[in-house]
Structure 1
Amino acid sequence: MAIDRSVRSSQLITPFGPGAILDIGEESLLLTDLAGWPKNLEAIKLDRLTRLLRKKLKAPPHKEEYGSNNYKHSISAIRFPKWMFCPNCRHMVRWGKSSQQRLKDELEDKPTCPYEKCKKRVLVPMRFVVACEEGHLDDVPWDIWAHAASKGNHCESKANYLYFITDSNKGSGLDALRVECKSCGASRNFEMLTSPSALSNIGLSCTGRQPWQKMQLGTCTATPVVLQRGASNLYFPVVRSALDIPIDNSRVDSSITEKIKSNSLFDEYINRLSIDKNSAELLAKIITNEENCTLEDLEHAASNESHQTPSDTKVPIDHYEIQEAEWSFLISENIESHRENTFSARVEHGFHQATQWDLEKKFDRIVLLDRLREVRAFLGFERVNPGGNTLVSPSGNNDINWLPAIEVYGEGIFFQFSESEMEQWERKEADFISSRIDPIKKRYDEGQVNYLDTPTPRLLLIHTFAHLMIRQLSFQSGYSSGSIRERIYAAENQAGVLIYTADSDSEGSLGGLVQQGQVDKLNATIAAALETACWCSNDPVCSEMETQGVMGLNKAACHSCSLVSETSCTMNNLLLDRKLLLGDVSGEGYFTSTIRQIRATEGTSFSHEDA
């Protein structure tokens, strides 16, 4: 019987892209680089995104294509970690190189214990692996670990007689686990295994290995650490997404500089400038001819070059650059005139006439997106610490000019906050805002969390509002909270959020989300979200906490009032503070006047049950 090792196609972008460890049943598999993907994949078209990424986009094979009965269209993987143990006799085995091949379900069996008494019990992968900030990955050298505490030990068979022992008398901590050599008696538990200097203390450095790549890298100077193979910091996929907005590409984000930068020879021209001027001049003639530009245009593009070519040591493109064109389009006056199969929008013109409770002052415009398409591209991944300068390309060391991507379809509601009202609030409540924001900024700088946007008052305000609305809309729209996403626009001169749903399994949507954005429902929905946020079941603790969340990057925000599913949030449920919306005795929030008027409305109660 063939073994089913299939996953959803969208999961091959995140969370299980190239270089990720995937647990399927009793097996632990490491997905290889793009060289191990099928060759004839469906192309995904979104010119605006491919120009910025300078890569073509291709969709992962569908489940029916790479499932258990059609391995020729499958994604290549290897067994990892190689060290396994028998759950019966506890003998440890390092799985041989013969397993490092394409998984062919009808040919390859699961690894089993070689001892006859165990009756072919399936081996269980060891729980721990070695990784470093440069993206390298390797097995824990269990033979060295077991003998490290035995000074002067020269066991010649230390890799062949290892056993994974669990001491039930010591509880469930790491000190209850140990690796023991039955040949010489050496033994060591796991108590210090996950400490930052565990391997360096026994003279081990990073091996520089990338078992998921066909081509291996060289040495590495980073400090290796031991992590559980399912640890959240073992693999950080870096994904950039863009909306398919029907704009004139020659008018938005496609200046002559961008056209030049998108030329396939531009990167080579940049490289040749410093090493071979003659070949650079030849490339310059080709580029200027193809793009119908002058040499001065090309030199200007080269002098302002900020793009990082895909490699193992480059920073991914900033999402602000992708969203700039989207913001310009979403606030444009003629957005309703652009109707296509993948996009349809209408401005809710009646919002300001029929609104209540000063909400017409808080928002400049509400746009309902009946149809939208989003493309999400996988740029690479990071390990151990996200947001650093190391981005490991999914192509590994291979010369591959495409990235895996998926396209999703759905609907959404766009809220454009009032810029004048926002600026007035920031000036009037500067002291109150500083008291909330400054501690978060300090922890942000100390934590080196570059994968998050820089904390600003409007970012935290808009982000928290998005979470409150996602929670409220999930009750009313028919969608689960995990299927509703946010898209924050909080850069300079931007103040808005798109709350939308997008699913890769079907085109279109249920229509329930847009229906809640209509003026006869939206006022009550916003009011219910704000009133619900005023009463957290963890108050007064939640409201008065100085720090919450990872590295203390939240203030008044917890699971009971503000956090949403990880699939919904673009910032890991961080940079949240509902007090910026609600205010307190020390100052007013952005919606304080609205909340006063809601509560003054006689006989009106807005809860999520009856909003």
Structure 2
Amino acid sequence: MLTDLKGWPRYLENISLDRLARELGVKSLKAPPTAPEFSRSKANKAVESIRFPRWMFCPSCRRMNRWTSQDENDNDKPVCPRPTCKQRALVPMRFVMACEQGHAEDVPWGWWAHSRGGTCDTKDYDKNLYFKSKPELGSGLDALFVECKACPGKRDLGDITSPGAMKSAGVSCKGSQPWESWGECDQDPVVLQRGASNLYYPIVRSALDIPVAAALEGESELFKAVQSDPSFPTFRNLLVERDNEAAAKGVAEMIADNNGCTVEEVFSCIENDEDEEEFNGDLPTTEELQLAEWEVLVSPDVDKHGSQSFSARLTTRLEAADRWGIADLVERIVLLDKLREVRAFCGFERVKTGVNKVPPAGKHEDIKWLPAIEVFGEGIFIQLSEEALEKWERTTATFIDSRVAPLLSRFEEGDIAYLPEPNARLVALHTFAHLLIRQLSFECGYSSGSIRERIYAAHGQAGVLIYTADSDSEGSLGGLVQQGEPERLLPTIAAAIDTASWCSNDPVCSEMETQGVMGLNKAACHSCTLVSETSCTMNNLLLDRKLLLGDESGDGFFTTVLAAIKGSK
């Protein structure tokens, strides 16, 4: 296991993206070593690591050994000290202990073995332990047990992963990480398999390197005019202080009429006004980081704001290439011939998300940088028509509510912190992005696992960015942008919608009340909608193709397009 940032090399290459660094509250972003050495040494390129779990057992004699830092040698692997085992390599125990505050440590196997009887002194609990199994009991945890050869202490692992199991054995969290002690902790620890997904939830924030200042230059006068409006303080108080968006919208309409702008532009002035606020320790959400990107991508002269790492151009001829009515639902298509994305590692969580973020620097407050990588690639940005979306949301409200309400209910019950709150626009845009990724993988030469998505579904936003980006040459082959030309993209969208209208798991897939992890999908499965985990920003959740296609109970956003596709065959 890697230690905190104090164990990283001192001199690392800087990755420049001031906007992201400022939002994350650090002075700089740094790239990992290009050829790291994972060891306990202090070499120039060494990333300090530590063996975890420390408890291991010998496959031959089954004796358990607790490996210590004094036993460690970078050139040797742990072996059983018994001569009869002939230097048999030790195997790490399958279980570790963690708590919701982000701490992790070895299971105290001595305490576990003696928790239901035994005559050893506590100082001798760990000296004569053996990890054994009873094959006749099957392959479950009930067939595994830890016993002490010096006394009758023995207990199987049948309930070791149950809530409260460690507490019943007299074990509490010591508030530590494998590389250091953090102090007291009042959380009850739980036992997890060492490869469990909930043992480590990485927190990553990413941003595109875009010419934000240039794109906003034309809006500076509007920004000043809106903030000078007599009603702006009232608008700000309603929206920011009282969190009353409905009342604030009414005031925003008055401000928009006074200054000849849209309500969305008035709302964006509040968001821009808050950009310079001091960092308060809370990580920005994905939506907050994407706000500046959205403003650039929808700016009228986006093609004039190029840079060394950003090149964009607007497409034309949408109506000429359209035979299915897709152009009526699409506002614009922007081809990104060149883009740069920076992804920063901001910490991790254990056991449950949204409870306690462990920073990469650990307890070392003086470390003011974060590990990051930069990738280069290309992409297609599709902005859907706000007018068409609002009309669909208004005219099919009953159908939309029947599709989204079960997802929202599950979302609230699960208290899920790593996903945005589901709504019709978010689910529809997310599903559309997945269908497009699946279809583009057949057309552009990239595998679906190398294509990623960015969903813009916040207030006043309605767009998706489908892009590919990598640190090697695959991110800049040009095949994806080529598929963004209207004469290719519109047939691709039509094919994606047509393909999604039928799933090999139908009618089960389309008629399921909910499916997927925690029931956070509707009509979406591996046969029709899900993509590679590396491509999705929401863990393949919050998807429903019926929200796009509709059914007998209501129209989806692309129902008229689907009818035109079927009629043209």
| Aligned position for 2:205 | 240
Correspondence for 2:6 among 16, 25, 35: 35
Letter in 1 for 2:324: W
Correspondence for 1:86 among 50, 53, 58: 58
CA distance in 2, matches of 1:530, 1:350: 21
Asked if the contact 1:129/1:137 (under 8 Å) is kept, the reply is yes
Cα-to-partner distance string for 1:571-602 (whole Å, 9 max, x where unaligned): 11111111100101100100000000001004
Deviation at 1:361, TM superposition (A): 1.1
CA distance in 1, matches of 2:312, 2:352: 39
| Aligned position for 1:328 | 295
| Aligned position for 1:124 | 91
Deviation at 1:90, TM superposition (A): 0.9
Correspondence for 2:363 among 369, 382, 397: 397
Secondary structure of 1:369's aligned partner: strand
Secondary structure of 2:10's aligned partner: coil
Cα-to-partner distance string for 1:90-127 (whole Å, 9 max, x where unaligned): 11000013257xx84xxx31111110111111111111
1:421 aligns with 2:388: yes
| Aligned position for 1:497 | 464
Letter in 2 for 1:112: V
CA distance in 2, matches of 1:83, 1:70: 25
TM-score by length of 1: 0.81
Secondary structure of 1:325's aligned partner: helix
Note the residue ranges of structure 2 that are not aligned, 5 or more in a row. Answer: 225-272
Deviation at 1:443, TM superposition (A): 1.0
Deviation at 1:335, TM superposition (A): 0.8
Asked if the contact 1:86/1:92 (under 8 Å) is kept, the reply is yes
1:565 aligns with 2:532: yes
Asked if the contact 1:48/1:249 (under 8 Å) is kept, the reply is no
Secondary structure of 1:164's aligned partner: strand
Q: CA RMSD in A?
A: 2.3
Aligned length: 515
Within-5 A mapping of 1:98-247: 98=70, 104=74, 108-150=75-117, 154=121, 157-213=124-180, 216-247=181-212
Asked if the contact 1:308/1:317 (under 8 Å) is kept, the reply is no
Cα-to-partner distance string for 1:551-589 (whole Å, 9 max, x where unaligned): 111111111111111111111111111110010110010
Letter in 1 for 2:195: G
Letter in 1 for 2:551: D
CA distance in 2, matches of 1:505, 1:320: 28
| Aligned position for 1:537 | 504
Asked if the contact 2:114/2:153 (under 8 Å) is kept, the reply is yes
Asked if the contact 2:453/2:466 (under 8 Å) is kept, the reply is yes
Cα-to-partner distance string for 1:531-568 (whole Å, 9 max, x where unaligned): 11111111100111011111111111111111111111
Secondary structure of 2:402's aligned partner: helix
Deviation at 1:185, TM superposition (A): 3.1
1:347 aligns with 2:314: yes
Asked if the contact 2:547/2:556 (under 8 Å) is kept, the reply is yes
Within-5 A mapping of 1:60-75: 60-63=32-35, 65-66=36-37, 71-75=43-47
Deviation at 1:251, TM superposition (A): 4.2
Q: Which moved more, 1:40-49 or 1:506-515?
A: 506-515
1:99 to 1:524, Cα distance in 2 relative to 1, 3 A: farther
CA distance in 2, matches of 1:212, 1:247: 41
CA distance in 1, matches of 2:179, 2:400: 47
CA distance in 1, matches of 2:14, 2:493: 40
1:556 to 1:306, Cα distance in 2 relative to 1, 3 A: farther
CA distance in 2, matches of 1:155, 1:58: 46
Letter in 2 for 1:31: L
CA distance in 1, matches of 2:319, 2:297: 18
TM-score by length of 2: 0.87
Correspondence for 2:444 among 470, 473, 477: 477
CA distance in 2, matches of 1:359, 1:246: 30
Note the residue ranges of structure 1 that are not aligned, 5 or more in a row. Answer: 1-29, 257-300, 310-314, 603-611
CA distance in 2, matches of 1:190, 1:319: 41
Secondary structure of 1:203's aligned partner: coil
Deviation at 1:169, TM superposition (A): 1.3
Correspondence for 1:467 among 424, 434, 444: 434
Secondary structure of 1:353's aligned partner: coil
Asked if the contact 1:155/1:184 (under 8 Å) is kept, the reply is no
Secondary structure of 2:411's aligned partner: helix
| Aligned position for 1:260 | none
CA distance in 1, matches of 2:87, 2:119: 37
Deviation at 1:155, TM superposition (A): 6.8
Letter in 1 for 2:481: V
CA distance in 2, matches of 1:508, 1:479: 9
Cα-to-partner distance string for 1:402-421 (whole Å, 9 max, x where unaligned): 00000000111111010000
Correspondence for 1:441 among 405, 408, 412: 408
Letter in 2 for 1:438: A
| Aligned position for 1:46 | 17
Letter in 2 for 1:109: D
CA distance in 1, matches of 2:152, 2:439: 61
CA distance in 1, matches of 2:308, 2:93: 49
Secondary structure of 2:464's aligned partner: strand
Cα-to-partner distance string for 1:360-411 (whole Å, 9 max, x where unaligned): 11110111111100000111111111123x1110001111010000000011
CA distance in 2, matches of 1:346, 1:532: 29
CA distance in 2, matches of 1:155, 1:397: 31
| Aligned position for 2:241 | none
Asked if the contact 1:155/1:183 (under 8 Å) is kept, the reply is no
CA distance in 2, matches of 1:318, 1:591: 29
| Aligned position for 2:68 | 96
Correspondence for 2:518 among 534, 551, 563: 551
| Aligned position for 2:285 | 318
